[in-house]
Amino acid sequence: MEPLSRVQVLVAMGVTALVLLLIARFWLLFDSVSLLTVSAASPEVWLQGGVIGLGITGASAIVYRLWPHYRRSADFYLTLVLRPLTWPDLLWLGLLPGLSEEFLFRGVMLPAIGLNATGVIFSSLCFGVLHLSGLQQWPYVVWATAIGFVLGISALWTGNLMVPVIAHVLTNLLSSLMWKAHLTAQN
């Protein structure tokens, strides 16, 4: 696969976020979904999201070291996305997917299917498939599905969409900062 330019990566992130938000919006037009609370007013919400985000980031580092197939998959995917980005761009990498993916998968899809195990499993599988960039990337899809499950459970347990949003944004931001530092150190 040809390396992507910074503009290509940023445009792809922006377009993907817009498409996911439009899908969620159209879903809401045709289905009456009882949405989760969306409130970041409480320090408890920030603490919960922060702890989950740190846990996911730590678990990802452990899985990266222990599972060679995931390591190769993650190296390919993250190098493709992160290499052309500048350090300030990483803020967008944290925010755009974190907000749009959570709004669609945990904000609309999960309540539409059901705020139960079936809803968590199905929305997690869809979230994982979204991260499929080729059949050789299946370990990354498995990992994304597991993370989708954790984010779905956090939405169920707290009843607040902001908990998985904060966790997702923090995970993306921390992971991308660590990867960018790793790539920079290699050069």
In a domain, 61, yes or no: yes
* Contact present, 124 and 45 (Cβ < 8 Å): no
Quote the domain boundaries for residue 103.
6-31+38-186
In a domain, 131, yes or no: yes
In a domain, 112, yes or no: yes
pLDDT in tens, 44-61: 999 999 999 999 999 999
DSSP annotation string for 112-167: HH-SSHHHHHHHHHHHHHHT-SSGGGHHHHHHHHHHHHHHHHHHHHH-BTHHHHHH
Residue 88: the pLDDT is 96
In a domain, 114, yes or no: yes
* Contact present, 27 and 20 (Cβ < 8 Å): no
In a domain, 21, yes or no: yes
Residue 91: the pLDDT is 96
CA distance 102 to 127: 9
Domain tally, the chain? 1
Per-residue pLDDT of the chain (187 residues; tens, 9 = 90+): 678 999 999 999 999 999 999 999 999 999 988 899 999 999 999 999 999 999 999 999 999 999 999 999 988 888 888 989 999 999 999 999 999 999 999 999 999 999 999 999 999 999 999 998 888 889 999 999 999 999 999 999 999 999 999 999 999 999 999 999 988 888 7
164 burial level (CB within 10 Å; 0-12, 13-18, 19+): buried
Per the confidence metrics, is the pTM higher than 0.85? yes
Residue 1: the pLDDT is 66
Q: Where are the alpha helices (DSSP H) in the chain?
A: 6-30, 43-66, 68-82, 89-101, 110-113, 117-130, 138-158, 162-186
Axis crossing angle, helix 68-82 with helix 89-101, rounded to the nearest 10: 120
Lookup: tokens for 142: 């498995």
In a domain, 1, yes or no: no
**Per-residue CA distances from 60 to 1, 55, 140, 174 (Å):** 25, 8, 11, 11
Residue 133: the pLDDT is 80
Residue 2: the pLDDT is 79
